[in-house]
Structure 1
Amino acid sequence: MKKSFKLASIAAALLCSSQAFAQEPVYVTGGANMFLFDNEVHNVDNAFGPWLGLGYQLDKNWAVELDYNMASSETKTASATDTDISLLSINGLYRYAPVGQNSLLAKAGLGQYKLDAGALGEESKAAIKVGAGYEYFLQPNLSATVFWDLLVSFDSTLIESVPSVGLKYQFGDVSSSKPMKSEKSQPVTAAPVQKPAVMDDDSDGVANTSDLCANTPSGVRVNSQGCPFDRDVDGVYDYMDECPMTPEGAKVADNGCREQLTETVSIELYVSFPNNSSVIPQEYHGEIKKVADFMKQYPDTKVTLVGHTDSSGSAAYNQMLSEKRAARVAAYLVNNFNLESERVLSRGEGETSPIADNSTKEGRNKNRRVTAEISTTVVNN
């Protein structure tokens, strides 16, 4: 009951504080955390519970945050006494990308750590809190966070890990191209010094001299260069993109959705190998890249690579060599062009499918090969 009252009081205080600064660079955050205990120091089970935080974004990279972490556990004794864990800390946070963009985070601060085991007693320690995490923006003002923090007491008797996940809501302006807080004018007795006017024709917060996208529509969130964001990197800005999570490399229409065709498209691959070898000749690397580019443009396609040999040697050896050649080309596609392995299949047919006369040198050269053909037909919705 005491724990629930504490959590409710802190939540109410954070809500009131955030409403009071709704136009300031204030944010509220919270979620779930775990306390992973050093069993050599504490005879307590690992614990799970909630956490809340209130932060102030000082500038595009730095913030200060007040956190309250809680959990409930039991002692590892015969009586299994309930134990309340709490940590109140003030932390400095540094983000590697400007606020408003996905970023790695670093944290350091000081806190008051308490273990309350009821009749068994209470323990309180001052501790250093350090950690690292990642923030992913779901919406312009709403993001998800994940952290792994480490607590170290000043007497070095406490070393605990505190992983956590949460959500964060940022009040005020989160544009990476604007300062988080405008400077307040101060009364002056002398006449103000006239400064040259900063021209910003599209009113996006980036001066014309630095704006690489000078005609951004009003209200569109931009980066530090004045250009709208394009999260899926398909060449269509987010504010115009009707399909914002298009697979990388896919062909898209003007609305950012995958281009739909009405005809069948195809590509063929032919790779020739030296005698008794599965090493891909350098001259065919470019041909394999064309296949990879085709598959990225049409993410629904799959390919089956078929290996072949000439008739030299035993049939069993040639079957093994043909499989090895096909697998080598498949591995090259997957490892060098980041294609999903389930889209690239391979098999060998040994010497059973010649395309030329094996009694001549030229014919054997043609038969030592890996081939593939990919085709797909898509229709407009």
Structure 2
Amino acid sequence: MKKTTLTKFLIAPVAFGVMVGTAAAKDVEQGWFVQGNIGQATGHESSASLVNEVADVGDLQSMRILSDKRRSWNIGGGYKFDQNLSVALNITDLGVIELDSHGDHDAIAGIKALSGTATGLTAMYSHPLTEEISAHVRGGLAHLSARSNRTDAGHGTSDGSNSGLTFGVGASYAITSNLDALVDWDRFQFDREVDVISAGVRYTFGEVMTQKAKPAPAPAPVVKPVVEKQPEPAPVVKPAPVAPLKPMAVTVYFGNNSSSLNNETLTVLNNAKSQLVNDRVDTVNVSGFASSTGNAAYNQMLSEKRAKKVAAYIKQNWSVDADKVVVTASGEKYANEAPTGAKARKVTVTVKFN
């Protein structure tokens, strides 16, 4: 056999297996099986090479093929290990070729027909395409037994044999869980090549084992969220009630027809400052007065001038907001209430607290 043919035989099953990969079918069949096919055989040979193979003759005259009756059949059996791998032993009838032979050589004189039977041992790989349809590829060794039938003028029959490789591809359809319909193409590689296309059935005796579905994973445990205990809010401390403060009042006096702040006046104002609660001061009322001596309009202006002088000092030295200091002037309005005129020339400062 040619080296290229052997290479094709070795590469074809491997390439097919890589192409289809490995898949999981619904059912996994295992057990012994039998099968039978019928079909058509086609030879790639000349009539002369056929005779030479059977009769071992080197000097051949021209021969003519009268009828190529290449009906073929196949019977066999084997064992299926699982859904993918099986082995089989098959006997294949390669058909009959009718010849018209003539010549002087005794070995070929009167040959009327050639027939051959191939016995093959093969391994097969199957790949499920659907739940019912599978594709397969196989390869192995085959032994050819050939026979030539002669006329009465010849020498009866003559037998020959040869060994070689066989390989093929096909498909199957699951009619039931045990019965499959087959379509196959096979090549027998001897000194000549023979192709067989056939169809048939296969019956598997083994039990059908259904793959058990993997159990669903257990649900993940429910983790209850950890609720952190919130700290209790701090108790609201109500501020202690603030004791009300009584208004503070001071009076400073001025000389006749004067609005100047003398030392005695400054001492009184500074002493009052030391008694203040500054953050609770609400208003500081500064009121100016004058005696009834002189013109009333002048006295009004003089009382206002005295009040503004005291207010300016308070704003500058008492640390009190300026907008809390309120200035008023009454002139000689209350002069008659004073025991003497000197007591009427004054400014009163009244501080109210909140």
Per the normalisation by structure 1, the TM-score is: 0.38
Per the normalisation by structure 2, the TM-score is: 0.41
